[in-house]
Amino acid sequence: MLLTDSYHPSIDGMVFVVDSEKKSLERLGHEVFILAPDPGEEHRIDGVYYFPATSFSSYKGYYVPIYPSNKIEILKGINPDVIHSHGLTLMALKGFIAAHTLEIPYVVTMGTMVTDALQYYLPVKLPVDIMESLSWIYLKALLNHSDAVVSFTTPIIEELKAKGVEPRDYRIITAGVDTDIFHPIPEPEGLRESMGLVGKRVIMCVGRLSFEKHVEEVVRSLKLLPEDVHLIIDGDGPAAEFIDQVISEEGMSDRAHMIGMVERTDLPKYYTMVDVCVSASRFETQGLSLMEAMACRVPIVVPNVRAFKEIIIDGENGFLFDGGIEDMAKRVMEALEISKDPSIRDAAMERAKSYSEESSARKLEELYESVIKAKKERLGKRDLGASRRGPGHA
């Protein structure tokens, strides 16, 4: 059973991760169910189980399961071997309680550093440092009492340990890249012409437009780049209006193009057209959209933090920057100058292909087998201890 805080019609990296894991585990012969907050009848998907939920006022398109539900009955009926949460808030808590009650192994993927985004989406405006402290108290309790914690990359596990998280088990299991969709293709005829980009050098940002991603920094870096460099922004989200405002304020309306949310299956067409993909986000635990760009042989420019410093070898399969927009623009310029170099593009593609969906699914399979075995052993020892104490003892 895969639990998730966000699912269709919401669009973000974790939605794609859940879909990918379901598909890949099913290919290995497993039966996989999804449990998500209810987005309303018009958006429900056949076969998905839902908890009653309401829309989240601070983040349009997201839903929170604040209502009572028959979660225990749902899970008893399905009788899963493992409950795996891809969220850290109410869905995670509901799943944890259900798993504890039913004595089922409970796994959590730390796919989002939620504490980094508190300042942008808190429905109750309290001091951020207080909310961060309270959030870590909750997160430590949740993660330390889970059967295993999954991280996409090593730096995130290191951050968790530094915060006092000591899970029973943990694994580094990257989100798989769907190479059936994301692979090199010929550039679609007429796409540059339709966007007025013939003869231009093109950089692109892809993903959810949220404040913690800092797409506005990429917009501002355009002023430091030659006038023939244009920016495509693909995505939608709560920061879209703010980014549009920054484009106007910086006088970049003729060079920065917001194109909305492109269908995922159409993204390779755009990756084939652009010269470089860029991110200013220090929020990423993996950066799936950027790895999908790499799978299409696109060089990327990203901050030298967290997941990126593990995935990218600077100057070999991508480019890292340490400072602000000046350093970002410098590395973008360097990437543009050598972006046609087949060795950079091939190295980026090979790195992305190493994170295959099948490889990730097999690692999850191994983890599930391990936590199932460990849970049975703990329950056996507990039952044995109770029988030794005899009746009348707590």
pLDDT tens, position by position, 198-252: 999 999 999 889 898 999 999 999 999 999 999 999 999 889 999 999 999 999 9
In the sheet with 49-51, reading across from the earlier edge strand, the strands are 49-51, 34-37, 2-4, 83-86, 106-109, 148-151, 170-172
Mean pLDDT of 340-367: 93
Task: Give me the pLDDT at residue 287, please.
Answer: 83
Q: How many residues does the chain have?
A: 394
- CATH code for the domain defined by 191-353: 3.40.50.2000
Residues of the chain with CATH 3.40.50.2000: 2-176+357-389, 191-353
Mean pLDDT of 58-82: 79
The lowest-confidence range among 203-207, 269-273, 284-288, 299-303 is: 284-288
Question: Hey, what are 38's tokens?
Answer: 């209810």
Task: Give me the pLDDT at residue 120, please.
Answer: 56
Whether residue 186 has a cis bond before it, omega within 30° of 0: no
Task: Give me the pLDDT at residue 385, please.
Answer: 56
**Dist. CA 113–CA 156, nearest whole Å:** 8
Band of the pLDDT at 121, cuts 50, 70, 90? low
Q: What is the DSSP letter of 223?
A: G
> In Å, how far are 54, 186, 281 from 286, measured between CA atoms?
29, 27, 11
Whole-number percent of the chain with pLDDT over 70: 92
Task: Give me the pLDDT at residue 202, please.
Answer: 97
Band of the pLDDT at 194, cuts 50, 70, 90? very high
Task: Give me the pLDDT at residue 292, please.
Answer: 95
The lowest-confidence range among 46-50, 73-77, 257-261, 386-390 is: 386-390
Each residue's pLDDT tens digit, 2-47: 999 889 988 888 899 999 999 999 999 999 999 999 998 899 999 9
Each residue's pLDDT tens digit, 144-176: 999 999 999 888 889 899 999 998 999 999 888
pLDDT for residue 60 is more than 80: no
Asked if 143 and 122 count as a contact pair (C-beta separation under 8 A), the reply is: no
Q: What is the DSSP letter of 146?
A: S
- CATH code for the domain defined by 2-176+357-389: 3.40.50.2000
pLDDT for residue 59 is more than 70: no
Mean pLDDT of 359-368: 96
Task: Give me the pLDDT at residue 272, please.
Answer: 93
Task: Give me the pLDDT at residue 392, please.
Answer: 43
Band of the pLDDT at 124, cuts 50, 70, 90? low
Phi/psi class of residue 199: alpha, beta or left (left: φ > 0; alpha: ψ in -120 to 50)?
A: left
Mean pLDDT of the chain: 89
The alpha carbon torsion through 292, 293, 295, 297 (nearest 10 deg) reads 180
Q: Cβ neighbours of residue 83 under 8 Å, at least 6 residues apart?
A: 1, 3, 75, 95, 98, 99, 104, 105, 106, 107
The lowest-confidence range among 80-84, 143-147, 336-340 is: 336-340
- pTM, two decimal places: 0.86
- For residue 257, the SS3 value is strand
pLDDT for residue 314 is more than 90: yes
